[in-house]
Structure 1
Amino acid sequence: MTETNGARMTEMTEVATTYRHDLDSPIGPLVLLADSDGALTGLLYPGHRTIALAEGAVADPAPFRDVQTQLEEYFAGVRTTFDVRLAPVGTSFQRAAWEQLLLIPFGETRTYGQIADALGQPGAARAVGLANNRNPISIIVPCHRVIGAGGNLTGYGGGIDAKKFLLDLESRGSTLF
C-alpha cells in the first residue's frame, strides 16, 4: 500500500461487486465507483474513456459518504488533501505515474516531463500522458495538475474547462490559466 497526502492506494484483488454513486458537482456530474471493500476504484466524468468500469455496478450511496463529504469540502475550498482508500486498476507503470500525481501539492502543477523524471524515465513524457489519460480516479488522483511543457493546458477527461476550474479553485482565487 502506498500513502501520500492522506490518499492511499491498495492492491486490487478479485472483486465480486462494484458499487456506484452519481454525484453532482460544480464541474458537472461525476460517477463514483468502489469495490466490495469500500476502496474507491473510480471517480469519472460521463463520457470518460474508462466509464465502462461503471457497467453493471450496483447503485448504492453508502460506500461513498466519506468521499462525497470530502469532495464537497474540496469544491467549497476548505479541503486540500483527501483521506480515501484508493484501488485504481492499471499497469505497474500507470500505477507508478498515478502515485507521482498524488505527490503534486494542492495548488501546484507539474509537466509530463517532470513526472517522467520523477519516475526515473526522463524520456517517458508521452507514456506519462497516456497514463494520465487512463487515470480512473480523477480529482483525487490529480491528473488535472499536469500541464504541457510550455505551461499550456492539455487534454483532460472532464474537458479543458473542468481542468481550468480545478486549477483555479486550487489557486485560491488567483487565476492560473
Structure 2
Amino acid sequence: MKEFSFILLIAFNLLFVQAQENYPSPSNKTDVLFYIQHNQGKNTFIYALNKNNKGEIHYNNPIKVYRQLFEKNGEVRPLTGIQKTFAYGINIKKLSGDKYEANIVSIPEQKLYLHLPKSGTPFVITKVNGQYIRLDRIFIKIKDGTSGLSTKLDYILYYGQSNGKNQSLKQEMP
C-alpha cells in the first residue's frame, strides 16, 4: 500500500511539473530571490534583492519586484500600477537585524520570511500546508474564464527546498 501511495504521489507531482513545461526562467538570475509564473502567459514576475549602485542592499526596502515579458522578446519592465497594487506588489516589514516578514499583496495571508545572513546567500522561506519551504518559484493556476480584478485561482504551487530535498507543495484555493 505504501508503494502505491508513493507512486501516486510521484505521478501527481509530475502532472504539476508538466503544467509549466516550456516556461522560461528569468534570464538574469543575479540577486533573484524567487519568481512567479501563471498559466495565462509566460511572462514572469521577479522578486529580487533591492540594491543601490554600490551593490549594497536597501535595508529599509530589501525586495524589488519587476517583470520579464517573454512574450515581448524578454523585455524587463517595472510592474504596472495595477499589478503593484492588486496582484504582484509586496509588503515588507523588518522583524530583526537580518530577518523580514513580507507578503504578496494578492495573497496577504501567505507570509514570506526574507533572511539576509551576514555571510551566504539571502533566501526566502514560507510555510505551505504546515511545511516550511525555502522558496525558489511559484506557479499560479488561474481558473479558466476569470481575469482582471475578478481573477480566481484553482491552486498555487510553491517550489523550493525542504529538509534538503527539492519539493513542490500545492495549496488549493477555495
Which has the larger share of strand?
2
Greater relative CO, 1 or 2 (CA 8 Å, sep 6+): 1
Structure with higher Rg: it is 2
Question: Per the shorter chain, which TM-score range?
Answer: under 0.3
TM-score (norm 2): 0.27
TM-score (norm 1): 0.26
